[in-house]
Amino acid sequence: MTGKRVINFGAGPAKIPETVMEQAEREFRNFNGTGIGVAETSHRSAQFTELLNSTKKLFVEELHIPSNYEVLFLHGGGTGQFAGVPLNLSAFSKNKEQPTADYIVTGAWSGKAVDEAKKFIHVNKVFEPTKPYTGPPVVDTWKRDPDAAYLYYCANETVHGIEFPKAPETLPGVPLVADVSSNFISKRFDFTDHGIVLGGAQKNLGTAGLTVAIVRQDLIGKEQPITPGILSYAEMLKNNSVYNTPSTFSIYITKLVLEWIRENGGVDGLAERNQAKADLLYQAIDNSDGFYSNNIVPEYRSRMNIPFRVGGGDADLEAAFIKEATAAGMLCLKGHRSVGGIRASIYNSVTLDEVQVLVDFMAEFKAKH
Catalytically annotated residues: 109, 179, 203
Select from 254, 289, 268, 274 the least CA-distant residue to 367. Answer: 289
What is d(CA 336, CA 159) in angstroms, rounded to the nearest whole number?
Answer: 6
Angle at 255 between CA 252 and CA 258, to 5 degrees: 155
Window contacting ligand PLP (CB under 6 A); options: 23-31, 35-43, 54-62, 73-81: 73-81
User: Which CB, 109 or 191, lies closer to ligand PLP?
Assistant: 109
Least separation in angstroms between CB 109 and ligand PLP:
4
Q: Environment class of residue 179 by beta-carbon count within 10 Å: exposed (0-12), middle (13-18) or buried (19+)?
A: buried
12 binds ligand PLP (CB under 6 A): yes
Q: Is 78 in the site for ligand PLP (CB under 6 A)?
A: yes
CA atoms of 201 and 257, how far apart (whole Å): 10
Residue 163 in the binding site for ligand PLP (CB under 6 A): no
Distance CA 125, CA 83 (A): 17
Contact status: 184 vs ligand PLP (CB under 6 A): no
**Which of 88, 106, 170, 181 is the binder for ligand PLP (CB under 6 A)?**
181
Mask for 196-215, x = binds ligand PLP (CB under 6 A): ----x---------------
- CB 160, CB 106: distance < 8 Å: yes
Cα 144 to Cα 102: distance, rounded to the nearest angstrom: 7
Of the pair 109, 252, the CB lying nearest ligand PLP is at 109
What is the rounded CA–CA span in Å between residue 123 and residue 117? 7
Nearest approach, Cβ of residue 255 and ligand PLP (Å): 19
Between 13 and 266, CB nearer to ligand PLP: 13
Query: Can you tell me which of 77, 175, 307, 341 binds ligand PLP, judged by CB under 6 A?
Result: 77
The Cα–Cα gap between 197 and 221 comes to 17
Cβ distance to ligand PLP smaller for residue 16 or 310: 16
Residues binding ligand PLP (CB under 6 A) = 12, 77-79, 109, 154, 158, 179, 181-182, 200
